[in-house]
Amino acid sequence: MPRKTKPKLAVWKFASCDGCQLSLLDCEDELLAVADAVEIAYFPEATRASLKGPYDVSLVEGSITTEHDAERIHKVRRASKTLIAIGACATSGGIQALRNFKDVKQFTSVVYATPKYIETLSKSTPIADHVFVDFELRGCPINKMQLVEVISAYLNGRKPNVPRYSVCIECKRRGTPCVMVAHGTPCLGPVTQAGCGALCPLYQRGCFGCYGPSDAPNTRSLSEQWKAMGQTPKDLARAFRTYNAYADAFRKEGDLHEG
């Protein structure tokens, strides 16, 4: 049965690069269908129109890095029936979570002419550290087809098909030759959640871990293999400390190798 009233969708931005929101805009064909299926009530990146809440589905991009945002996210939560965190920033703190390993004051003193104007928290944290999140869509940036899948699933009251297994599964389904085995190229695919379609191995690059840890990440064993392939502890610490540096499994593995 066709739905009588269109569900209201809102897109919110916190500390992020906008790349994930752009994934939604990048959905050209699908976007028309999205616009048809939902009322885009709040999406500053795409439209100036803004409707009052409550919203049926809120997509939240970005991490929490300021006091102000730590309060704002509660307002967003209160105004949203379903809250979906999108992208590495919103689900693990993002690349800016690298500050979590250092003293942020040192950075501000070096980068800004008047550091006292900078109000920032000492850590960049994911949305789920602050409010209840209904679903986390991983990726840096997210995969637009997965985004459409998640929106479709919520609109149709079904479970999204977003598997938590490794990138290797997608890599093999695609028939891509394994870069670890065939070329000795270090790859984070075996400990990284699928979702990108094994994009980097397709271009003969190792996986960078953009989708964060898979559901059973044996990072220790993979690190041992990387070492046997000639990678130094420094290389390992770097590999685990990128877009999902603060995700539990990657954070712990990174800590182990930082010397």
Partner 1 sequence: MTKRTRQDSETPDIIESRDFQALFDSLAKQGYRLVGPTVREGVVIIDEIAQVSELPIGYIDEQEKGTYRLTHSSGSAFFGYGLGPHSWKKYLFPPRMRLWQAQRYNGSFAIAADDSTDQEVQPLALIGVRACELAALAIQDRVFMGDYPDPHYKAQREQLFIVAVNCIHPESTCFCTSMNTGPRAAGGFDLALTEVLEADRHYLLTQVGSDAGAKMLEAVPHRPATREEKAAADTLISRAAEHIERSMNTRGLKELLPASAESPHWDAIAARCLACGNCTLVCPTCFCATVEDTTDLTGENAERWRLWDSCFTTEFSYVIGGSVRASVKSRYRQWLTHKLSTWVDQFGTLGCVGCGRCITWCPVEIDITEEVRAIQAQHAAVSDGAGRKKKDAHA
What distance in Å separates the CA atoms of residue 27 and residue 38, rounded to the nearest whole number? 15
Q: Which of 164, 227, 238, 252 binds partner 1 (CB under 8 A)?
A: 164
205 in contact with partner 1 (CB under 8 A): no
Instruction: State the nearest-atom distance from the C-beta of 163 to ligand SF4, in Å.
Output: 14
Instruction: State the nearest-atom distance from the C-beta of 248 to partner 1, in Å.
Output: 16
Angle at 242 between CA 222 and CA 257, to 5 degrees: 50
Partner interacting with residue 151 (select from ligand SF4, partner 1, none; CB below 5-8 Å by kind) = partner 1
Kindly determine how many residues on this chain lie close enough to bind partner 1 according to the rule CB under 8 A: 49
- Which residues on neighbouring strands pair with residue 8, listed in sequence order? 39
Tell which residue, 227, 251, 231, has the closest CA to residue 241: 251
Tokens of 255: 């800590």
Tokens of 9: 């969708």
Partner interacting with residue 198 (select from partner 1, ligand SF4, none; CB below 5-8 Å by kind) = ligand SF4
202 in contact with ligand SF4 (CB under 6 A): no
Question: What's the farthest any 2 CA atoms get from each other in the chain?
Answer: 61
What distance in Å separates the CA atoms of residue 66 and residue 86, rounded to the nearest whole number? 19
187 in contact with ligand SF4 (CB under 6 A): yes
Measured between its terminal Cα atoms, the distance across the chain in Å is: 60
Q: Where along the sequence are the contacts to partner 1 (CB under 8 A)?
A: 1-3, 30, 33-34, 36-38, 148-149, 151-153, 155-156, 158, 161, 163-166, 168-169, 172-178, 180-184, 187, 189-191, 204, 215-216, 218, 220-222, 224-225
